[in-house]
Amino acid sequence: MGMPTLSHRQKPGLLEHPALWDTEARVLGDDAQDGSTVDQLASFSAAIVNVRWATTAVSLVLVSSSLLRPDWPTIVATLAVLGNTIYRSVHPLVYTGSPADQILLLLEVTLFWVILAVTGFWQSPLVIASTAVLVVAGFAGGFRLALRIGAATTISLTIVGFTVTEWTTVRMSESIQWSTLLLLTAVIAGYGRRISGEASRRHSATLDRVSQLTDANTLLFKLHRLAQTLPASLDQQEVLDSSLVKLRGLLDFDRALILLLEEVDRTWVVAKQQALGLSGTLDPATLPDGGRQALATWRTIYVPDLGADRPGLHPSSRSGLFAPLTARNRLIGLVAVETHRPGHYEERDRRALQGFIEPMALAIDNARWFRRLRRVSVDEERSRIARDLHDRIGQSLASLGFDVDRLVRRHGSGKEIGADLQLLREGVRAVTSEVRDALYDLRADVAEDKDLEQTVGEFADRLAQRSDLRIDVDAEASGRLPLLQEREMWRIAQEALINVERHASATSVTVTWRCDGERAALDIVDDGRGMTELNAGRIDSYGIVGMRERANSIGAGFEITSKPGEGTTVRCYLNQT
């Protein structure tokens, strides 16, 4: 028999971390001030140095004839330009938008204004050097700052120049040309800042997004690995123990607590703790502020400053994470981890815990429900055992009782009872054998060192010996299911075989078992009389209800097909992928 092909539609749970999926930040305008302390000129430092030296070199060429006269004001001004260029090459101007930086920029503008004023205003051979300060202004503050400085410089130079010198058409033409050149320099510098700034911001946003996505990828991969290793067992204590171990692999902590809410009496039970010395129940009002806030908001809360004013679960705790456990859209518990190191956790730790508690809460809730169902199953199992004992051993014992009464009467009338005693002895032996078989059937089970193939094989041998059934076991297993799941599959196989023995009037039955550790399929096929619609409706007498409930408890599929005179097939299959 081939492995059944199964398909399951599941709605995947999403880790909602809005910070991981933010769109790129809005690109600020060239004059936007965000109050940051970032040097706006840092990314343009190389360009500014090159502009300073280029304009200084041109100015030295233009002023060379004046240096031969000698013209001392021009010489001093030239030395001032050269000195400023050298100084600012070693100590670049820093501009963060602060008042102090604005004053330094204005002082440099004033220096060049004075240099031009003492060397002939717009006829100065050093006028080209003044363009460097407008380039700096444009790179520092964009269009507005550069245009304001450029306009103030050109207007004031023109007014003062025509006040102290003769007004001529040539001078007016030179004033317009140089003013236009300086303003265009300011515009170009501002536009260059805008282009470079947008590219820088986009690059920074891209790098930031890549960093966030890298963190998200690492987090999701780690959570996926942890979710895969969460216990498939439905035993609550095993789930709690395993969850705490996995939590230790995810976060560093000194003490931990898992509280669970009992829905019946609404009490908070200390289900698992480490290094806290707590037990029994806990009043939520005694929880730290972070724990109460987590329960109130259903969000993971990080408290970086636990202490005397804001105590944690333990007096020595200095920071902690508190996460609510939710399942079925209900609050079922709380996880708290604390450490003696203040400010120890980061935002990524909070996100990691938030992502981990979702599968953890589901595993715990599944275990709690299974525990409740198992209580019901225990009661049903007791009833089934009582019915079996009544149907099999009870009737045999009642028959023996009748035989004993009959022998007593025969003995009282003086009749020979030797042969009847021999028959009674055989009957007692038969009942003893039935009791032994019933106890064996109850004890037979799978274990860590005994898989389903071995358990079914041993049970099939005993069943064949006592019933004359020919039982073939065809098993191929490259892996094992979690113990509790494999145990339920075994009980289904056992119930099906017992039904064949008692009700099918079969001569042979085949048990087929396939398992690869994730998928499993169990078939029990007999050649008996099958089930008619009449007796198929009385499914209680064949234990079908119990088999179906066992399959449902482990998430397995269950099918029965039967036709009168053509036997019955019981199939149970499980797909965990």
Q: What pLDDT score was predicted for residue 218?
A: 62
Last residue of a domain, one of 367, 397, 416: 367
Tell whether 419 is covered by a domain.
no
Predicted pLDDT of residue 568: 92
pLDDT at 34: 40
Rounded Cα distance between 343 and 321, Å, is: 11
Beta-ladder partners of 339: 319
Task: Count the domains in the chain.
Answer: 3
- Provide the residue-wise pLDDT of the chain in tens; the chain has 577 residues: 333 333 333 333 322 333 323 333 333 334 444 444 567 777 778 888 888 888 888 878 887 776 666 777 878 888 888 888 888 888 888 888 788 888 888 888 888 888 888 887 777 788 888 778 778 877 777 767 777 877 887 787 778 777 777 767 777 777 777 778 777 777 777 777 776 655 555 555 555 655 665 665 665 555 555 444 444 456 788 888 888 988 888 899 999 999 999 876 788 999 999 999 888 889 888 999 999 999 999 999 999 999 888 899 999 999 999 999 998 888 999 999 999 999 999 988 998 898 888 888 888 888 887 766 666 555 556 666 666 666 566 667 777 777 777 778 877 777 777 777 777 777 777 777 777 776 666 667 788 888 999 999 988 888 888 888 999 999 999 988 888 888 889 989 988 998 898 888 899 999 999 999 888 999 999 999 987 654 444 444 447 777 887 888 788 889 999 888 889 999 999 886 5
CA 577 to chain centre: 19
Query: In sequence order, which ranges of 389-444 are alpha helices (DSSP H)?
Result: 395-412, 418-443
Give me the pLDDT at residue 320, please.
95
In b/e form, how buried is each residue of 270-307, taking b as 16+ CB within 10 angstroms? bbbbbebebeeebeeeebbebbbebbeeeebbbbeebe
In this structure, the answer to whether residues 58 and 154 fall within a common structural domain is yes
Residues 333 and 282: their CA atoms lie apart, in Å, by 12
Query: Residues 298, 150: one domain?
Result: no
427 belongs to a structural domain: no
Beta strand pairing status for 470-479 and 508-516?
Answer: parallel
Q: What pairs with residue 268 in β-bridges?
A: 261
For residue 513, the enclosing domain spans 445-577
Same-domain check for residues 247 and 196: no
Q: How far apart are CA 139 and CA 193, in angstroms?
A: 5
pLDDT at 55 (0 to 100): 82
Q: Identify whether residues 61 and 169 lie together within a single domain.
A: yes
Please check whether residues 101 and 183 belong to one and the same domain. yes
C-alpha–C-alpha distance, residues 192 and 50, integer Å: 15
Question: What DSSP line would sit under 324-363, residue for residue?
Answer: EEEETTEEEEEEEEEESSTT---HHHHHHHHHHHHHHHHH
**Is residue 331 one of the residues assigned to a domain?**
yes
Q: What is the CATH number of the domain that holds 242?
A: 3.30.450.40
Instruction: Based on the fold, state whether residues 241 and 204 are members of the same structural domain.
Output: no
- Residue 480: helix, strand or coil by DSSP? coil
